[in-house]
Structure 1
Amino acid sequence: MTAARVGVFGLLGSGNLGNDGSLEAVLGYLRAEHPEAVVDALCGGPEVVAARYGIPATRLHWYRGEYRTASRAGAIAGKGLGKLVDAVRTAAWVRRHDVVIVPGMGVLEATLPLRPWGFPYSLFLLCASGRLLRTRVALVGVGADAISDRPTRALVRGAARLAAYRSYRDALSRDAMRAMGVDTSRDEVYPDLAFALPTPAASAPSGPPGPPGPVCVGVMDFHGGNDDRARAEEIHRRYLDGTTRFVRALVEDGRPVRLLTGDACDAAVVAAILDAVDSPLVTAAEAASLADLMKETTAADAVVATRYHNLVCALKAGTPTLALSYAAKSSALMESMGLGAYCHPAREVDADRLLEQFRSLEGRSAELRRTLAERNLAANRQLGDQFTALTAALFPAADHVHTLREAS
């Protein structure tokens, strides 16, 4: 059999740990189930992807200033030319593959500020090229949400319609695509791909119970969503002030606090909290992967986090978790893991109310750990079904071989 040529696509290697964790999960699946496949990437950070995951990688955009604001004529012209060049480059890359996988990520949503001619345009080019060149494009375990901006909605809807395979990380995402006019009758819902990653072992207690342990607080450079641009700075100030006051209250109770991030841009929020609280009890983790985040959350008594994949890591580690929810996907995730009561709005952080919810969470710690253990087992089984379905959809010849082997 000829080895399948598989491409992976997305804003990978660009500093977002959640995106890279989804890639890692899909690479694990390919290496376990399709070790003969030849894999490469078209992505945001090719140097990082090549070094970290050992696969060839090509830069997603021809114009290197794609995600910088263009104010000068030269930069505007460069961006415009880049759109034309990227159409040719994307089609040429797609043509070299039998299958292209978009691994997880919120590629069909605009819950954070997003320009239509950025990634939505790139995703549309990918799916249109796949349809034109008969390369199967799969959107695997992706996130989606209703989009009000018309150009963005048109590009996202068009990309989804042109994909050969779609699955979602929650029912909310599938419902959103259905509402935007995509036929989802054959689309399935599975847990987030990051739940397929290995979980670090929890360290066993070394003696009698001691004082309360550390609390992980996952922060985010949060300015609201795509529809909040006019209020972005106000939303950010309110989020930062409420989160800082919550951290200060924990320190006043003598609790060690470990600050977590999920993207390179979150470092400014960490620095602001460290400066405002100024206590040796507050430290910042230097996590380079979801595995690092899971180790941090495994060692904590409880977690309070904003970024979606900070929540995923904490829940997968089995640690009682409270979400500073900035989008419906966070609330849906918490509900699916049995912690739906422990959500707090990121746009309106009330430190006193948050502290009250946190104390309730810790009071039910043992019960919630048992719930999370059960939900994690179910998630593992469901992701096994996801990868079986993916093989059947994208690698029918390989699936036939596997069936014959099992029968013999």
Structure 2
Amino acid sequence: MKGARETPVRVGVFGLLGSGNLGNDGSLEAVLGYLRAEHPDAAVDALCGGPEAVATRYRIPATRLHWYRGEYRTASRAGAIVGKGLGKLVDVFRTASWARRHDVVIVPGMGVLEATLPLRPWGFPYALFLLCASGRLFGTRVALVGVGAAPIGSRPTRALVRWSARFATYRSYRDALSRDAIRAMGVDTRHDEVYPDLAFALPTPPATAPSDAPGVVCVGVMDFHGGDDDRARADEIHRRYLEGVTRFVRALVDAGRPVRLLTGDECDAPVVAAILDAVDSPLVTAADTASLADLMKETAAADTVVATRYHNLICALKVGTPTLALSYAAKSDALMDRMGLGAFRHPAREVDADRLLEQFGELEGRSTELRTTLAERNLVATRQLEHQFTALTAALLPAAAEAHDHDLRETR
């Protein structure tokens, strides 16, 4: 066992990390917390979307995910089209070279096996396929840990996702719907487990005692245009969503309630600006959040939360604040069911401000009961994630697990 520890295990983390999405970065933070606590000698680095941000915030070496810097910008000029095409070829060798230098690569959470938001097959699905195929080719263990999945209409995207899942050494999911979706794509999931989202493993800020007087309502907004299959009516979906949320916020302000606008991605800023401009009241403010920890502090200080983005919901539920989901995908519905608030959902594609206000009133009327429910469900989630990390060590780092057990026996 001693020899197994002389060379540090080489662990890579992979994904659209450091790119402005707080949920993705929260999943990374949870996995890094696990590695630093359970495998402090591991040599960790990243292949990611925002290497500068990851290296600065998390203090690990980081490399850019794509060779072509304009990967996620629409290519209209000939030079950009050629650059993207060449980048696809170069990324084959870059990804393979990076993967083979590692013993283990972890893809931490994120909806990497779904297309609930607009997605091109040759973007991240292709990058994930290159990673998983490289892992299979070079013997690097690739783990999809607590990931999200959903049925995919696009045949090229579905094929890339299916083969990525098949090539992975380890898979776990953040809800049963994700596992079912991958099984329906033809992947053997008999040994795959379901656990709560990795963000539930993050530290929880101190609880804020609710006051007797009506307090702040956090409203989490999103630059929502529907899913991958909604491209033809994306503008209409966005307009209806923005109008409905704006009407809801205006009604809260008219009732004298302070509203705090939350986001979860840099792309949500125009939605915040549009609501602030339309309502134009000092009762409406926008939070400046750079992490899930910031989001949790905001939601912990609120009486109630109404939110769209998946990780806005998680942050609110984790701190025990009664929450209503503006649901845009089955993953949000599954999360609310898991946490005992399945009755408090409203479709993001068809926001009806009047009905939303009715549901909001019902939510606030049951606040004490729901806070108790959330406290109980959070204890369960914590225990389940402890098991997730134990299973991850056993599957991916068996030598480290055996060494740890040996050390425990030696100290007895």
User: Would you say 1:164 and 2:158 are equivalent positions?
Assistant: no
- The match for 1:76 among 70, 81, 89 is 81
Question: Distance in 1 between the 2:171 and 2:179 partners?
Answer: 9
Question: Distance in 2 between the 1:204 and 1:11 partners?
Answer: 36
Q: CA deviation at 1:204?
A: 4.4
Question: Distance in 2 between the 1:352 and 1:210 partners?
Answer: 25
- The amino acid that maps onto 2:362 is S
Q: CA deviation at 1:202?
A: 1.7
- The match for 2:407 among 400, 405, 408 is 405
| Aligned twin of 1:14 | 19
Question: Distance in 1 between the 2:281 and 2:407 partners?
Answer: 60
- The match for 1:234 among 227, 233, 236 is 236
Matching of residues 187-336 of structure 1 within 5 Å: 187-204=192-209, 209-336=211-338
Q: CA deviation at 1:194?
A: 0.1
Question: Distance in 2 between the 1:4 and 1:320 partners?
Answer: 42
Residue-by-residue CA offset, 1:366-389 (whole Å, 9 max, x unaligned): 000000000000000000000000
Q: CA deviation at 1:286?
A: 0.4
Number of residue pairs matched by the alignment: 405
- Secondary structure at the aligned position of 2:70 is classed as coil
| Aligned twin of 1:27 | 32
Question: Distance in 1 between the 2:111 and 2:379 partners?
Answer: 24
Q: CA deviation at 1:403?
A: 2.0
Percent sequence identity over matched residues?
Answer: 83
Q: CA deviation at 1:190?
A: 0.2
Report the TM-score when normalising by structure 2.
Answer: 0.98
Question: Distance in 2 between the 1:58 and 1:339 partners?
Answer: 40
User: Would you say 1:357 and 2:362 are equivalent positions?
Assistant: no
Q: CA deviation at 1:405?
A: 3.0
Unaligned runs of 5+ in 1: none
Q: CA deviation at 1:203?
A: 3.3
Report the TM-score when normalising by structure 1.
Answer: 0.98
Question: Distance in 2 between the 1:187 and 1:80 partners?
Answer: 35
| Aligned twin of 1:128 | 133
- The match for 1:386 among 388, 408, 412 is 388
- Secondary structure at the aligned position of 1:21 is classed as helix
| Aligned twin of 1:64 | 69
Q: CA deviation at 1:271?
A: 0.2
| Aligned twin of 1:99 | 104
| Aligned twin of 1:4 | 9
| Aligned twin of 1:341 | 343
Residue-by-residue CA offset, 1:22-72 (whole Å, 9 max, x unaligned): 000000000000000000000000000000000000000000000000011
Question: Distance in 2 between the 1:320 and 1:229 partners?
Answer: 33
- The amino acid that maps onto 2:58 is Y
Residue-by-residue CA offset, 1:280-325 (whole Å, 9 max, x unaligned): 0000000000000000000000000000000000000100000000
- Secondary structure at the aligned position of 1:268 is classed as helix
- Secondary structure at the aligned position of 1:42 is classed as strand
Residue-by-residue CA offset, 1:221-271 (whole Å, 9 max, x unaligned): 000000000000000000000000000000011000000000000000000
Question: Distance in 2 between the 1:392 and 1:384 partners?
Answer: 13
Q: CA deviation at 1:210?
A: 4.3
- The amino acid that maps onto 1:288 is A
Q: CA deviation at 1:401?
A: 1.5
User: Would you say 1:144 and 2:153 are equivalent positions?
Assistant: no
- The amino acid that maps onto 2:114 is E
